Amino acid sequence: SQQGEEDPQALSIQEGENATMNCSYKTSINNLQWYRQNSGRGLVHLILIRSNEREKHSGRLRVTLDTSKKSSSLLITASRAADTASYFCATDYSSASKIIFGSGTRLSIRP
Amino acid sequence: DGGITQSPKYLFRKEGQNVTLSCEQNLNHDAMYWYRQDPGQGLRLIYYSQIVNDFQKGDIAEGYSVSREKKESFPLTVTSAQKNPTAFYLCASRPEGSTDTQYFGPGTRLTVL
C-alpha cells in the first residue's frame, strides 16, 4: 500500500539543466519528505516539508507542497553529475510513526 | 549513513535457511524500522518498533521476524517461510513521537542461492 507515487519514473537531462520530479499521495499527511539514494546505498534525507508549508528551499533544492491536490514537487536547479541517483518521496501520515515511500524517480545527468 | 550500522553488507543464503540481519544505532532513537527494496522499486515496510520490547507488523511482514530487546538494536530474521527473500534490506531510526526525518543505515544485500 504505497502512499506516494513519483512521476516520472525515470528522467535524463543535460548537466546544468533543471530537474523536476513530482509526487502524489492519497491521504492527509503530517509532512512529506524527499530522499536521495545512490545505487546500492542507503537513503539520504534531503528536505522535509510540513503540511502547513507550501514551499521550502535548501541550496539547489526547491520543494513545493499542494495539500489540496495531494501533490509535491522537487526541483533541482543547475544539475550536476553527482545528482545522478534515485529520488523518493515519503509521507508521514498517521500517529503510528510510519513513513510510506513512493516508487522513486531515477535521475540521470548527462555530461 | 549517520549513526546506524548494518551488517553484513552482502549476505548469501541457501534456500530453506533462516538468516539474521543486524541493525545497530547509537543515536538514542526510540523508533526503528526495517524496509525491503527490490530492484527499481521503492521501499516497503516490513516491521517497526516504537519502543523496547514492542514492535508492529508493516505491509510485508510475512516470512520475517524481529526482536527489540535493546534500544540500540533491532535485528531482522528472514525465515525460510519468506518465498522470495533476495532483496536489499534497509534499517532506519528516528526519535519516538517525532515527525521528522528517518536516518538510514547503508543496507544489506541478501541473495538466496
> Which of A31, A43, A45 lies at the smallest CB-CB distance from B99?
A31
Contact list in A for residue B96 (CB cut-off 8 A) is 97
- Kindly tell me if the per-residue pLDDT of B36 is higher than 50: yes
- Residues B73-109 have pLDDT tens digits of 999 999 988 889 999 999 999 887 666 788 899 999 9
CA distance B31 to chain A (A): 8
d(CA B91, CA B31): 11
Residue that is written with C-alpha cell 546505498 in the block: A41
Mean pLDDT across chain A: 91
pLDDT confidence of residue A1: 46
pLDDT confidence of residue A29: 86
Report which residue type is found at B64.
Y
What number is the average pLDDT over the span B23-50? 93
What number is the average pLDDT over the span A1-19? 86
d(CA A25, CA B64): 27
pLDDT confidence of residue B102: 86
* Pairing label, strands B31-37, B87-94: antiparallel
**DSSP secondary structure string for all residues of B27-60:** S--SEEEEEEE-TT--EEEEEEEEETTEEEE-TT
- For residue A41, give the DSSP letter: S
Residue of A1, A23, A41, A43 to mutate, interface with B, max B Cβ within 10 Å: A43
A101 touches A89 (CB < 8 A): yes
Contact list in A for residue B101 (CB cut-off 8 A) is 33, 45, 48
What number is the average pLDDT over the span A22-49? 91
- Kindly tell me if the per-residue pLDDT of A95 is higher than 60: no
d(CA A102, CA A3): 6
pLDDT confidence of residue A93: 73
What number is the average pLDDT over the span B12-16? 90
B61 touches B47 (CB < 8 A): yes
pLDDT confidence bin for A94, thresholds 50/70/90: low
What number is the average pLDDT over the span A55-61? 97
